[in-house]
Amino acid sequence: MGVRQVSEEVEFPKGVTWKLEGGALKVKGPKGELTRAFVHPLVRLEADSGKLFIKAKDARKRDRALAGTWAAHIRNMGQGALKGHEYQMKIVYSHFPIKAGVQGSEFVVENFLGEQHPRKVPIRGATKVSVAGDKVTVFGPDLEEVSGTAANIEQGTRIRGFDPRVFQDGIYIVSKGE
């Protein structure tokens, strides 16, 4: 069995600049700036004549998979810096009207199932959350922070102690995209 080498080129959209410093990649665009460290003993990032490559020498199956994962993360960073990432959510209730809003760096849900105390969910990083009627929009340059915030909001209104087939109240992710 021969030595397997991986060399995958990652292209960035126009309008996005990037810089490789050690193992950290900085991506800058109109919607924001993202920095992420990519560290692994066998897989590395290399800049060559204005192009970014993910290289692995003596790559096993796991190392080739990691190179593909890094390429996807880097493409998401480029997309986020250029256009941003957006999740659409919907407030659903049939028993008690839910009041939701943003207070500082927290998303606050009041009157959920008639509860007296509001439920508070932290907003991650540079993510912005807006509420318009029964629609909640989660937007930001970093896909992991945006998706994590949306998941936290959804989990923050999880039903406990009631039959979920009857009490379908909550805030749910409706669409993921631009």
pLDDT at 46: 86
> Over the stretch 45-60, which tens digit does the pLDDT of each residue have?
888 877 888 888 877 8
Residue 117 burial class via C-beta count within 10 angstroms: exposed 0-12, middle 13-18, buried 19 and up: exposed
Domains 6-82 and 85-177 are alike in CATH topology: yes
CATH of domain 85-177: 3.90.930.12
Closest CA to 145 of 11, 15, 17, 32: 32
CATH C-level class of 6-82: alpha beta
- Residue 33 token pair: 């700036």
> Over the stretch 130-149, which tens digit does the pLDDT of each residue have?
999 999 999 999 999 999 99
Q: Which residue ranges make up each domain of the chain? A: 6-82, 85-177
